[in-house]
Amino acid sequence: KAGVTQTPRYLIKTRGQQVTLSCSPISGHRSVSWYQQTPGQGLQFLFEYFSETQRNKGNFPGRFSGRQFSNSRSEMNVSTLELGDSALYLCASSLEVHTDTQYFGPGTRLTVL
């Protein structure tokens, strides 16, 4: 079975721009979660989607948004980029419920200049 895929793997943007990251979960998985990982703040939960609905949201500003499509693929968007948004953005998929095993993708490394 193919794993979680994320595109692009690397991205360089400038302050003020916006970015869209994509995540394709493992086939059959309906839940997708997004995380931000930085050296300073560690791993932080962004949001979770299940069946095209946002089921949970972390403590991030409204510049961070996401959506999930009917095929369970998910996108994450960050508008008006700031230097502090530079991070590794990880996507994880699981079958359905919160207690199912989460499988992480390789991440998208975003650098904001």
Partner 1 sequence: QQPVQSPQAVILREGEDAVINCSSSKALYSVHWYRQKHGEAPVFLMILLKGGEQKGHEKISASFNEKKQQSSLYLTASQLSYSGTYFCGTAEYDYKLSFGAGTTVTVRA
Which single residue is written with the structure tokens 């991070």?
87
Cβ closest to partner 1, residue 47 vs residue 78: 47
CA atoms within 13 A on the CB side of 72: 19
Cβ closest to partner 1, residue 51 vs residue 56: 56
Q: Which amino acid is at 109?
A: R
Site membership for partner 1, residue 60 (CB under 8 A): no
Closest CA to 86 of 17, 5, 6: 17
CB of 105 to partner 1, least distance (A): 6
Residues at the site binding partner 1, with contacts judged by CB under 8 A: 33, 42-45, 48, 55-58, 90, 98-99, 101-107
